[in-house]
Structures are given as structure tokens and as C-alpha cells.
């Protein structure tokens, strides 16, 4: 079966996000009341697996081992059958 | 002639650009992005660097700075000549003052190399440059792959807006002479009185630096030709 | 929390209690934990470092400050130092390397100097994981240096399996300051404010320095990994500009950057060096996260922070500068006359009360057994040299295309090497040559750290590291002004590692003395071990020299045909011990001990030939890969029509082509210069050899019994892409 996988990677709360900080500052200068802005990334791909559980396990493993750096990032994995 | 060089927080080629203009005998004026007026300058340069750390997208945050409204007005009302170099080019594209956008290099990496660029069309107001001229200048960027929306390329060529293309040392423009994945090897474009380029003319001002072609380009932009 | 939790020994704890006259409270214990850690106190290496020569006619500031300072001329001084960020770069390579660059740049700025150049020295393993690590480390070095706008002008990289889990990321920074500017890390006066500038403080890297860099890595230490520090070169740029502008007013008492151990180290060092005390109002420190404890605030290693010491009457002018650069700032304390450091919070006005000289100046140092000084210098056991009786054409390509010799373009093209427009020679040469605006003299900057030469004989390796880097300066006729040493080794509590450390430093000391060049500061990184396996003791030596005519560097490749090709090899020895060629075939053996007196004389002669060089002579030090690689690189750097023909004795061709014994130079010159070299070196058997001639046939021809040809294209491909077998 083919699964659509979406992995959202975000900085851990305690990690400094200079890009988010600067972006929020400019938004504020433009007059928007944006606060606590954090920039993350989204990784999407398709995955072949026998069932959703195995797809999830594989996707989680990929996130843990490569897509996110567990030292400073968290990730959320969503798996949807095509 | 007074030429203003606008520094944003994070600009880092501003001093080199000021020195280069001074070396050409120009009254070069440093302008901080927070200043309200353009101090009576005749022309403006947006220098290279990492304005706002290149965060979000290169040039995106600086393009929204209040000073850019003043710049936009000067272009619209007085057809003020504005030159964007590297990050300055990115800012002008993000502001919509130049067509296209600069994507991350095809390699996904920052790239600092010497390149040859070929003049495709001479922008408005330039003197002493002709189509087909070759210039050797360094590039140093992470987001330098020029791109346009589908269907946007042909009009650029038709309107003579393509200024520079990466070429080999004899002026042939092809895939092997494309360092960063720019569409049609485009290294610089123009629109009205506004010109942008990725290479750094201010770093090609003396033989000991590797080339003097930056003088030719900047003199051309100043409307003085190469004396 | 007890003393073991903060990494102190029972003896150290007893000593602290004795000095305080009571047991330290929890916060105080934490402060001692970091400042008495290996990383901050240098307790294992300080007595060894004391033996290095620090004095010299050009020295303005020796070790003990944020960076060493030497005199370029009457108007301009040069601040420079190498620093390591090994452990953080293994944990998180991009941020680890980036914050390493940020840290050393702030050291230079804290000396009141404007950074003008970076140089990096990297070591990686040979496995696949090491390749992605390298990619990420290079990304990090570039991300910070490129964005803050300081060019990376030179560097080096090498590979060995021992660095797999302990990559080395050493970065040297060089800055310029006006000669009249006072050195600004001491001079804090009672009544002046402590102004904390830059990034708000978060829980970044707490214990990063004290624990991470002071212990070995292993399975059990995973949980100790501190919160990773993230570099923000954008804020770093604003901080640099604001600090330099503030320093330029002459209104600051003192400047101290915040690095390892954060506020604790900055304030303790500042007070200790200025011989004053301080009161810190901890509630005033701007924090990024809510609920941070005093302990966390004092130990945080949040990047992009600087501490300015400002007299109340000067505050307004300094704050104006800081505000222009849009930097957050806060007055967090005051300098006091009594030599006591008080950490005060609203709840507890005496949360910690310690004397700066106890905190920053009383950590007991590891004693150096006197008998070892002679022992480590004793001749090493000589491994039987490996001497091939024949040589194969393929061997040349194999060495040229080996990871240790091939082109570094894929690395240095990711660094901006040209910004600030003073790079006359950048990373495509073996050393950097920089102009200094407004004056005739320029700078020669080089960095070398041949770990392989120290693998089996650390004393020999220490000497060789100094010899290698100074050979580069000699080839330009540049006058060495000073050296900075980046020492990287394993766990110093092991006798074998400590012995190696001692031998390495003895080698550096003896060589610096022989060449008459002082060491003005540096960095020691210990505990580079994983699962009990230490790295090779690796001394990364950075050198700064005064270049007499930076706009016209002495050539390193011939530009005309017909020139003589001369090989200078002062020892006359052609052993392959420690060479790349050997490492491709067998275990590395002990590197031949350099004859320092002879090398010093050689560099003097080469330096004077370089200084009087006509526009034809080209000089290239022979480095990794030996003569073959030097010839190939010179050929690839010369006009395409040029070739070279050299003749070697048939029976020892391989040894001559690939030996890496210290002090060798390859010289392309007119016959008069060749004659001058012959009369200088003819006295030493085998030291001068007329190898052949620069030709116009575009190929490298090596004649030894038979003639072997290498086409330019083949050499170019191998050098660029590596040997493909």
C-alpha cells in the first residue's frame, strides 16, 4: 500500500530560533501583533508499507534518525493511506 | 555625483561597496535603513550581505523595511537609478522592483567562486558596456538561482531585461557554465532604472584581487563608461 | 547536588571549603564546578603550557587574555587565536561548528580588534557517517562566517579513523586594532556598571563546557548532553559592530565576551584580572525562558552575548551606540572595590559570595613530573622504514587523489573567502596573503595540524606542526610574528594520554624556541575519546606573519618555461615514515624527528630568497603527499602550456617522491637562484638537488630508470575528484 507521510519538524521550545525571532520583529514593525513565532519545516513523501502501523513505525524511525535532530528538534508524523 | 549605499541590519558588503565607489571618484554616502530621507543622493546601491540573517527568505525581511517605501517612491517619481548587488538584488526582487526570485542554489550549498558573465542586454542608462562583453567577477551566495514564473522568461528576453548570463571563459552560455541553477544562466536583470546582479563588482576592482571588471561594470552603471 | 555532580574531586571540594572557611552553598558549588572544570581552568595542561615561549619582539599581549596580540607595525596590531569546538560539533555539527566560529570571533572583538579573517582546521573519520558530519560542519562554519561577513581565507582538513566519533573543529580568527588602543579585558573600575549586551539568556548549553568538554563520551553520557546552543550570526554581526563602535569611543573600562560557562566565567575572569569585585543583580538578566534558576542563568552558554564595563558617566553615550544597532541590553551589576563576587537575587542578596581569585585563580593544577621532560624528548623507537625498491606510475595518482591530498575546493567554495576585499591569496593556495588597508605591510596567515606525525611520536609531531606552518611563512619571505596553538587530545587522567600531551607540548615549545617565534595563546581540548579510544594528539598551529609586499605574493607555481626545478631537503633523508604514502599501505610509523637547528637555517635562507625573489621564482613547501603532490599542484596552478620534467635516482624514486620529512621546499627558479640555493645547502649531504626543468609540453614527466608521463587532464581529474583506482 502507498501512504502519504507528512513530518513536521520544529525546534524544541527551549531552543533559540533566531529566524523566527527576526521574522516576528519585522511583522511587528509592519504593524502585526505576531508573537512567539517559531519557524519549522515540513517534509512530505510517499511510502510503501504493508499496513498503516508499519508505515508509521518506518516514518517515525526516519524522523528520529535523519529528518529531525532529536538533540534540538521535535517532530510530528502523520500517515494517511492514499 | 552622490551615491547612497543603504545598509540593513546584517548587510556586510556595504564597506566594500563604499570603498569601490570611492575608488571611482564618487561621493559615496552610507545610509542606515532606519533613516527617513535619502540625503539628496542621485543614485542608490543596495549592497550584498545577509540582511536580517537571510532569515525566512533572503531579502524578504529587508524588503519590508520602511526605507524601501522611500526607495520605491524615488524609483517611481524620479526614475532614480538603483543597483542591487547579491542580497540587494534579492531584496529588490522580494519588493517586486525587479522581476523573478532567487531560489537556493541547485547544489543546496553556499558557493563562492569566480565566474564569467556575458552582457545580454545593456540596461537603461549604462555607458561603456555592450551586449556580448565578458566580465569576470566573484559570486558568493546561497540563494542565487534566478527563477521566474512559467511563461515569464520569454518576455524578459524580448524586453531586453536580461542583463547578465553566466558563461564560460569564451562567452558561451550553457549548462556547464551555470554555477547555481539559474534559469537561462541569468545572473542579472533590469527593469526601468533598477538593476540587480548576483556577482560582486565591488570585489573585482584591482588586479591583486583577481579582476578589474567590477570597475567597468560600476562605471557603466554610473553612466561614465570605462575611461 | 554534591561535589561529584558538578565534576569536582574530594580534594578540590576540601580546598574550596578551606578557602571559603565554610562549605559552599548549592549555587557556589555550581560556579566552582564550571570554573574548576578542565575546560575553564586548564588544570591538566596549564603547567605544560607554561613551558612554551611567550616572549618576542613583536608580542604585545601573550597568553591569559581573550587572544594574543602582536605588532604588525607602529600603527597596527594583530589579535589572533585558535579555538576548538570539537564536542559540540559531534553532537550537532551545523550549530556546533557555527557557534565555534561565533565564539572565536567574539574573543577577537573582546580584544578591541576588528576580525578580518578566519581559518579552519578540521579532522574527520574515514567512514560514511564522517562524510555527512563533514558536510554539516562545513555548512556550520560557512553559515556563521559567511553571514557575519568575515572571510575564511585558509584552512586544512585531514582524515583518520580515530576521529570518527571525535571530529576536530578548530577555528582561528585574526583581527586588527589600532596600536594605541588599550587591551580591554582588564581595567574594570569600582562603581562601573556591568552591561550585558545581546541575546537574552536561555537554558542553552548549561554544563556544555564543564561536563561535555571535560569528560569522555560514552553510552552513559547521552543524558548529559546539554541543550544545544544555536548560533545567530545576524545578532553576532550587530553585537560585533556595536562592541567595536563602543570600544572605539575609548569610554569602556573593559570588555569580556561570554563563552564557556557564560556569565560565571565572564564575571569571575573580569573581576580577577581587573583585581576588583562585583555585585551581580541576577533578576536583571533578561531571560528567554520563564522560571530560570540562578544556577541556570549563571551557567547558561547562550551565544551572542557580550559584557561591557561602563562608568556611569559614560552610560548615555554607550547606550546610544547599542540602541543604534538595535541590540537588547541590560545593566546587570556593578564593579566593587572589595575583591568579592556577590550574586544577588531579590530573595537572597547573598545567593553566592566568593572571592574572584579563589573562583578563577585557585584551581589546583596537575603537577608535571620533572623526569618526564627528559623522557618524552628521548629518541623514539625507530620503526623500520618502509622503502619500496621500485615505483609504479599509479602510485602518484593514488597519493594525489587520496583524501588527505586531494583538492579542498568542495569545502572552501562553501566559504566566502573574498569579502572585505583584502584576500590576495585565498584558500586555493597553501597559505593566505592579505593586504592591510592603508599600509604597505600585509599579513601571511597559515594553519597546520599534522596529527599523523604525532600518532606514534607526539614529541616529533609537536615539532613538525610548528615546522610545517612556519615553512609556509618562509616560502613568502614573511616574518613570523606569533603562533597560536590548538591542542587536541584524549583523557589527561590516563598516563599515556598525559605523556603524549606533554611530549606534544615539549615539541611545540622546542620548535618555537628554535625558530624564535613565540606562542601568544591558544586553546586546549581534552577528553577527545570515545569508548576509551583517544584521538591522535593533534596540535593545530596557527601562524601570523608580516608580509613585506602582499600585493605581489611570491609565486607558488612557475609561470614561464625553462626554469630550473630545485628540491631542497635539509635532512637529506627520504624516509616514508608518517607519510600519506605509508598510510595508504600500512600502519603509520613514527615521524622522523626534525633537526630544528637545520630547519631554522633553511627557513632563513628560503625566506631571504623569497624576499629578494625576482618575478620568475616560485617557491612551494612540500607538504602531505611529498614531492609528487607538490609538483602536481604546481603544474595545475601554472599556465596550461607548461610542463615539468624531473629526474630522480632510480633505486630510491618512490622514497624521494613521497617522503614528508620536515623542511622540504620545491623551487622553480632561474639558474642564478639555483646557484644561490646550491651554495647555501650544498654543505649538507643530499640537501640540494637539481631535479630538472620547467618545459612547454603540458605534462609532468618523471624520469627514474624509465620515463613516466602524467597529462595535465589526468592530474586535474585525480586532484579534483579523488583517486578512482
Among B13, B20, B112, the strongest candidate for a mutation testing the C interface, having the largest count of C CBs within 10 A, is B112
Q: Which residues of B are known catalytic residues?
A: 86, 200, 202
Among A9, A16, A21, the strongest candidate for a mutation testing the C interface, having the largest count of C CBs within 10 A, is A16
CA B123 to chain centre: 12
What integer pLDDT is reported at residue C184 of this predicted model? 66
Average of pLDDT values for C232-253? 96
Q: How many CB atoms lie within 10 A of CB C174?
A: 26
Q: How far apart are CA C47 and CA C365, in angstroms?
A: 7
What integer pLDDT is reported at residue C259 of this predicted model? 87
Q: How far apart are CA A78 and CA B1, in angstroms?
A: 60
Q: Is C39 a catalytic residue?
A: yes
Q: Report ipTM (2 d.p.).
A: 0.97
* C538: helix, strand or coil: strand
pLDDT digits (tens, 9 = 90+) for A27-44: 998 899 998 999 999 999
Inter-chain CB proximity C227 and A15 less than 8 Å? yes
Contact C110, C184 (CB under 8 A): yes
Task: Locate all alpha helices (DSSP H) within C9-85, ordered by sequence.
Answer: 10-20, 26-35, 38-41, 46-49
Q: Which three cell numbers stand for residue C65?
A: 587574555
Chain A hits for B52, Cβ within 8 Å: 22, 26
What integer pLDDT is reported at residue C216 of this predicted model? 58
Question: Does residue C219 have a pLDDT over 60?
Answer: no
pLDDT digits (tens, 9 = 90+) for C251-270: 999 999 998 889 999 999 99
**Distance in Å, alpha carbon of A6 to nearest chain C alpha carbon:** 24
pLDDT digits (tens, 9 = 90+) for A33-80: 998 999 999 999 999 999 999 999 999 999 988 888 877 889 999 999
Residues forming beta bridges with residue A45, ordered by sequence position: A5
C414 touching chain B per CB within 8 A: yes
Please choose, from the candidates A1, A2, A21, A25, the residue with its C-alpha nearest in 3D space to the C-alpha of residue A11: A21
Q: Which three cell numbers stand for residue B103?
A: 531560489
pLDDT digits (tens, 9 = 90+) for C9-47: 999 999 999 999 999 999 999 999 999 999 899 999 999
Burial (CB count within 10 angstroms: exposed 0-12, middle 13-18, buried 19+), residue C640: exposed
Inter-chain CB proximity C225 and A71 less than 8 Å? yes
Length of chain C: 725
What integer pLDDT is reported at residue C221 of this predicted model? 47
What integer pLDDT is reported at residue A81 of this predicted model? 87
Question: Does residue C213 have a pLDDT over 60?
Answer: no
Chain B hits for C232, Cβ within 8 Å: 53
| C1-5, C222-226, C371-375: segment of lowest average pLDDT | C222-226
Please choose, from the candidates B216, B37, B79, B225, the residue with its C-alpha nearest in 3D space to the C-alpha of residue B134: B216
pLDDT digits (tens, 9 = 90+) for C85-96: 999 899 889 999
Rounded to the nearest 5°, which phi and psi values hold at B81?
-70, 125
Q: How far apart are CA C640 and CA C407, in angstroms?
A: 18
B55 touching chain A per CB within 8 A: yes
Task: Locate all alpha helices (DSSP H) within C188-261, ordered by sequence.
Answer: 233-248
Question: Does residue C670 have a pLDDT over 90?
Answer: yes
pLDDT digits (tens, 9 = 90+) for C684-722: 999 999 999 999 999 999 999 889 999 999 999 999 999
Residues forming beta bridges with residue B167, ordered by sequence position: B116
| C135-149, C180-194, C307-321, C686-700: segment of lowest average pLDDT | C180-194
Average of pLDDT values for A11-35? 89
Q: What is the mean pLDDT of chain C?
A: 93
Report in angstroms the alpha-carbon separations of C311 from C77, C113, C316, C359. 26, 21, 10, 25
Q: Which of A14, A17, A21 sits opposite C227 (nearest CB)?
A: A14
Largest CA distance in chain B: 46
Residue in chain B nearest A41 by alpha carbon = B56
Average of pLDDT values for C406-419? 98
Q: Which residues, 6+ apart, have CB-to-CB distance to C494 below 8 Å? A: C534
Give DSSP secondary structure letters for C585-620: TS---PPPPP-HHHHHHHHHHHHHHHHT--SS-EEE
Burial (CB count within 10 angstroms: exposed 0-12, middle 13-18, buried 19+), residue A80: exposed
C140 touching chain B per CB within 8 A: no
Report in angstroms the alpha-carbon separations of C723 from C226, C394, C406, C579. 41, 10, 9, 17
Task: Locate all alpha helices (DSSP H) within C584-711, ordered by sequence.
Answer: 596-611, 626-637, 653-658, 671-681
**Distance in Å, alpha carbon of C381 to nearest chain B alpha carbon:** 47
Report in angstroms the alpha-carbon separations of B85 from B79, B106, B133, C620. 19, 20, 19, 37
Predicted TM-score (pTM) of the model is 0.94
Burial (CB count within 10 angstroms: exposed 0-12, middle 13-18, buried 19+), residue C42: buried
Q: Which three cell numbers stand for residue C621?
A: 613547501
Rounded to the nearest 5°, which phi and psi values hold at C519?
-100, 120
Pairing of strands C277-281, C341-344: parallel
What integer pLDDT is reported at residue C228 of this predicted model? 77
Length of chain B: 227
Question: Does residue C212 have a pLDDT over 80?
Answer: no
Contact C489, C86 (CB under 8 A): no
A16 touching chain C per CB within 8 A: yes
Place of cell 522611500: B70
Please choose, from the candidates C660, A70, C69, C425, the residue with its C-alpha nearest in 3D space to the C-alpha of residue B208: C425
Q: How far apart are CA B197 and CA B187, in angstroms?
A: 6
Chain B hits for C417, Cβ within 8 Å: 112
Residues forming beta bridges with residue C443, ordered by sequence position: C434, C546
Q: How far apart are CA C77 and CA C59, in angstroms?
A: 9
Please choose, from the candidates C246, C240, C270, the residue with its C-alpha nearest in 3D space to the C-alpha of residue C333: C270
- The domains of chain A, with CATH numbers, are 2-81 (3.30.1280.10)
C87 touching chain A per CB within 8 A: no
C149 touching chain B per CB within 8 A: yes
Chain C hits for B138, Cβ within 8 Å: 418
Q: Which of A19, A29, A30 sits opposite B56 (nearest CB)?
A: A19
What integer pLDDT is reported at residue C225 of this predicted model? 52
Contact C478, C548 (CB under 8 A): yes
pLDDT digits (tens, 9 = 90+) for B78-119: 999 999 999 999 999 999 999 999 999 999 999 999 999 999
Q: How far apart are CA B144 and CA B88, in angstroms?
A: 12
pLDDT digits (tens, 9 = 90+) for C570-584: 999 999 999 999 999
Question: Does residue B33 have a pLDDT over 70?
Answer: yes
What integer pLDDT is reported at residue C402 of this predicted model? 98
A14 touching chain C per CB within 8 A: yes
**Distance in Å, alpha carbon of B25 to nearest chain A alpha carbon:** 36
Q: Is the dihedral of CA A13, A16, A17, A22 positive or negative?
A: positive
Task: Quote the DSSP letter at residue C525.
Answer: E
Chain A hits for B69, Cβ within 8 Å: none
Please choose, from the candidates C602, C581, C580, the residue with its C-alpha nearest in 3D space to the C-alpha of residue C664: C602
Residue in chain A nearest C202 by alpha carbon = A14
B64 touching chain A per CB within 8 A: yes
Report the percent of chain C where pLDDT is more than 70: 96
Q: How far apart are CA B139 and CA B86, in angstroms?
A: 8
Q: Which three cell numbers stand for residue C159?
A: 582524515
Burial (CB count within 10 angstroms: exposed 0-12, middle 13-18, buried 19+), residue C367: exposed
Angle, helices B213-221/B14-23, rounded to nearest 10 degrees: 80
Kindly state the helix (H) or strand (E) to which residue C471 belongs, with its residue range: helix C458-474
Q: Which three cell numbers stand for residue C237?
A: 554581526
Q: Which three cell numbers stand for residue C364?
A: 589546583
Sheet with C193-198, strands from edge to edge, namely C252-257, C305-310, C193-198, C329-336, C277-281, C341-344, C352-354
Please choose, from the candidates B125, B178, B121, B131, the residue with its C-alpha nearest in 3D space to the C-alpha of residue B155: B121
3-state SS record for chain B: CEEEEEECCCECCHHHHHHHHHHCCCEEEEEECCCCCCCCCCEEEECCECHHHHCCCCCHHHHCCCHHHHHHHHHHHHCCCEEEECHHHHHHHHCCCCCCEEECCCCCCCEEEEEEEEECCCCCCCCCCCCCCEEEEEEEECCCEEECCCCCHHHHHHCCCEEEEEECCCCCCCHHHCCCCCHHHEEEEEECCEEEECCCHHHCCEHHHCECHHHHHHHHHCCCCCC
* C221: helix, strand or coil: helix
**Distance in Å, alpha carbon of A23 to nearest chain C alpha carbon:** 12
Q: Which residues, 6+ apart, have CB-to-CB distance to C526 below 8 Å? A: C38, C44, C45, C213, C214, C489, C490, C491, C492, C501
C102 touching chain B per CB within 8 A: no
Q: Which three cell numbers stand for residue C55?
A: 616572549
Amino acid at each position: 500500500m502507498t501512504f502519504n507521510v507528512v513530518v513536521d519538524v520544529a525546534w524544541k521550545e527551549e531552543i533559540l530560533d533566531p529566524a523566527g525571532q527576526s521574522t516576528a520583529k519585522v511583522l511587528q514593525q509592519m504593524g502585526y501583533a505576531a508573537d512567539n513565532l517559531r519557524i519549522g519545516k515540513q517534509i512530505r513523501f510517499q511510502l510503501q508499507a504493508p499496513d498503516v502501523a508499519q508505515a508509521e513505525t518506518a516514518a517515525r524511525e526516519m524522523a528520529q534518525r535523519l529528518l529531525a535532530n532529536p538533540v534540538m528538534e521535535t517532530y510530528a508524523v502523520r500517515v494517511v493511506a492514499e | 555625483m552622490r551615491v547612497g549605499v543603504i545598509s540593513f541590519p546584517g548587510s556586510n558588503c556595504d564597506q566594500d561597496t563604499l570603498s569601490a565607489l570611492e575608488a571611482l571618484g564618487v561621493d559615496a554616502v552610507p545610509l542606515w535603513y532606519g533613516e527617513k530621507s535619502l540625503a539628496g543622493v542621485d543614485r542608490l546601491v543596495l549592497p550584498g550581505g545577509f540582511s536580517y540573517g537571510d532569515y525566512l527568505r533572503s531579502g524578504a525581511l529587508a524588503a519590508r523595511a520602511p526605507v524601501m517605501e522611500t526607495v520605491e517612491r524615488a524609483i517611481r517619481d524620479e526614475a532614480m537609478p538603483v543597483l542591487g548587488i547579491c542580497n540587494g538584488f534579492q531584496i529588490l526582487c522580494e519588493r517586486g522592483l525587479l522581476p523573478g526570485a532567487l531560489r537556493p542554489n541547485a547544489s543546496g550549498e553556499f558557493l563562492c567562486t569566480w565566474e564569467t558573465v556575458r552582457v545580454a542586454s545593456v540596461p537603461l542608462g549604462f555607458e561603456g558596456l555592450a551586449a556580448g562583453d565578458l566580465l569576470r567577477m566573484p559570486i558568493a551566495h546561497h540563494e542565487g538561482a534566478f527563477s521566474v514564473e512559467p511563461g515569464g522568461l520569454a518576455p524578459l528576453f524580448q524586453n531586453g531585461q536580461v542583463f547578465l548570463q553566466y558563461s564560460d571563459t569564451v562567452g558561451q552560455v550553457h549548462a556547464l557554465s551555470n554555477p547555481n541553477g539559474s534559469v537561462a544562466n541569468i545572473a542579472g536583470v533590469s527593469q526601468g532604472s533598477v538593476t540587480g546582479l548576483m556577482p560582486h563588482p565591488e570585489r573585482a576592482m584591482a588586479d591583486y584581487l583577481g579582476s578589474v571588471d567590477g570597475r567597468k561594470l560600476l562605471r557603466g552603471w554610473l553612466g561614465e563608461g570605462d575611461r | 547536588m554534591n561535589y561529584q555532580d558538578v565534576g569536582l574531586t574530594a580534594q578540590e571540594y576540601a580546598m574550596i571549603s578551606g578557602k571559603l572557611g565554610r562549605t559552599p552553598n548549592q549555587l557556589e558549588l555550581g560556579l566552582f564546578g564550571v570554573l574548576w572544570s578542565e575546560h575553564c581552568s586548564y588544570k591538566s595542561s596549564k603547567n605544560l603550557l607554561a613551558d612554551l615561549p611567550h616572549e618576542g619582539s613583536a608580542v604585545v599581549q601573550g597568553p591569559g587574555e581573550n587572544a594574543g596580540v602582536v605588532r604588525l607595525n607602529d600603527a597596527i596590531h594583530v589579535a589572533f587565536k585558535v579555538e576548538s569546538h570539537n564536542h559540540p560539533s559531534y553532537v550537532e555539527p551545523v550549530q556546533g561548528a557555527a557557534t565555534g566560529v561565533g565564539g572565536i570571533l567574539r574573543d577577537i572583538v573582546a580584544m578591541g580588534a576588528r576580525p578580518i579573517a578566519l581559518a579552519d582546521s578540521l579532522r574527520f573519520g574515514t567512514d560514511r557517517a564522517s562524510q555527512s558530519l563533514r558536510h554539516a560542519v562545513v555548512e556550520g562554519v560557512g553559515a556563521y562566517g559567511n553571514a557575519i561577513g568575515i572571510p575564511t581565507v585558509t584552512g586544512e582538513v585531514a582524515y583518520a579513523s580515530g576521529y570518527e566519533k571525535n571530529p576536530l573543529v578548530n577555528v582561528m580568527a585574526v583581527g586588527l586594532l589600532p596600536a594605541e588602543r588599550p587591551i580591554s579585558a582588564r581595567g574594570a573600575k569600582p562603581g562601573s556598571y556591568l552591561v550585558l549586551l545581546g541575546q537574552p539568556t536561555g537554558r542553552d548549553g548549561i554544563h556544555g563546557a564543564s561536563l561535555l568538554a571535560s569528560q569522555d563520551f560514552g553510552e552513559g553520557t547521552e543524558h548529559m548532553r546539554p541543550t544545544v546552543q544555536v548560533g545567530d550570526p545576524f545578532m553576532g554581526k550587530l553585537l560585533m559592530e556595536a562592541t567595536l563602535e563602543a570600544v572605539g569611543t575609548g569610554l569602556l573600562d573593559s570588555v569580556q565576551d561570554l563563552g564557556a560557562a557564560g556569565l560565571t566565567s565572564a564575571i569571575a575572569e573580569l573581576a580577577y584580572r581587573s583585581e576588583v569585585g562585583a555585585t551581580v543583580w541576577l533578576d536583571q538578566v533578561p531571560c528567554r525562558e520563564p522560571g530560570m534558576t540562578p544556577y541556570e542563568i549563571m551557567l547558561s552558554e547562550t551565544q551572542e552575548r557580550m559584557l561591557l564595563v561602563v562608568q556611569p558617566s559614560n552610560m548615555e553615550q554607550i547606550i546610544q551606540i547599542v540602541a543604534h544597532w538595535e541590540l537588547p541590553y541590560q545593566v546587570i551589576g556593578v564593579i566593587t572595590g572589595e575583591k568579592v563576587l556577590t550574586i544577588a537575587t531579590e530573595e537572597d542578596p547573598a545567593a553566592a559570595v566568593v572571592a574572584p581569585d579563589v573562583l578563577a585563580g585557585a584551581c589546583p593544577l596537575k603537577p608535571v613530573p620533572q623526569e618526564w621532560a627528559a623522557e618524552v624528548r628521548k629518541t623514539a623507537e625507530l620503526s623500520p622504514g618502509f622503502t619500496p625498491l621500485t615505483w609504479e606510475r599509479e602510485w602518484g595518482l593514488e597519493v594525489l587523489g587520496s583524501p588527505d591530498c586531494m583538492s579542498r575546493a568542495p569545502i572552501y567554495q562553501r566559504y566566502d573567502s573574498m569579502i572585505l576585499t583584502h584576500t590576495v591569496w585565498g584558500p586555493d593556495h597553501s597559505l593566505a596573503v592579505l593586504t592591510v588597508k592603508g599600509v604597505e605591510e600585509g599579513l601571511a596567515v597559515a594553519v597546520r595540524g599534522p596529527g599523523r606525525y604525532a600518532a606514534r611520536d607526539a614529541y616529533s609531531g609537536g615539532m613538525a606542526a610548528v615546522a610545517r606552518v612556519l615553512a609556509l611563512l618562509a616560502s613568502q619571505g614573511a616574518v613570523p610574528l606569533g603562533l597560536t596553538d590548538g591542542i587536541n587530545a584524549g583523557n589527561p587522567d590516563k598516563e599515556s594520554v598525559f605523556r603524549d600531551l606533554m611530549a606534544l607540548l615539549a615539541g611545540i615549545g622546542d620548535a618555537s624556541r628554535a625558530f624564535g617565534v613565540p606562542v601568544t595563546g591558544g586553546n586546549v581540548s581534552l577528553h577527545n575519546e570515545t569508548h576509551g579510544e583517544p584521538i591522535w594528539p593533534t596540535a593545530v598551529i596557527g601562524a601570523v606573519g608580516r608580509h613585506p609586499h602582499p600585493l605581489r605574493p611570491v609565486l607558488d607555481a612557475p609561470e614561464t618555461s625553462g626554469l630550473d626545478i630545485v628540491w631542497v631537503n635539509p635532512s637529506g633523508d627520504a624516509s616514508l615514515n608518517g607519510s600519506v604514502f605509508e598510510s595508504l599501505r600500512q600502519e603509520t610509523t613514527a615521524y622522523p624527528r626534525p633537526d630544528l637547528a637545520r630547519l631554522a637555517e633553511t627557513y632563513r635562507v628560503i625566506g631571504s630568497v623569497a624576499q629578494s625573489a625576482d618575478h620568475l621564482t616560485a617557491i612551494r613547501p612540500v607538504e602531505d603527499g611529498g614531492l609528487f603532490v607538490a609538483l602536481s599542484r604546481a603544474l595545475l596552478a601554472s599556465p596550461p602550456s607548461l610542463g615539468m620534467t624531473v629526474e630522480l635516482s632510480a633505486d630510491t624514486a618512490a622514497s624521494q617522491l613521497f617522503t614528508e620529512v620536515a623542511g622540504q621546499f620545491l623551487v622553480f627558479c632561474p639558474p642564478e637562484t639555483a646557484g644561490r640555493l646550491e651554495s647555501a645547502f650544498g654543505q649538507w649531504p643530499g640537501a640540494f638537488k637539481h631535479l630538472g626543468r620547467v618545459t612547454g609540453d603540458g605534462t609532468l614527466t618523471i624520469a627514474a630508470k624509465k620515463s613516466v608521463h602524467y597529462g595535465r587532464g589526468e592530474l586535474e581529474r585525480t586532484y579534483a575528484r579523488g583517486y578512482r583506482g
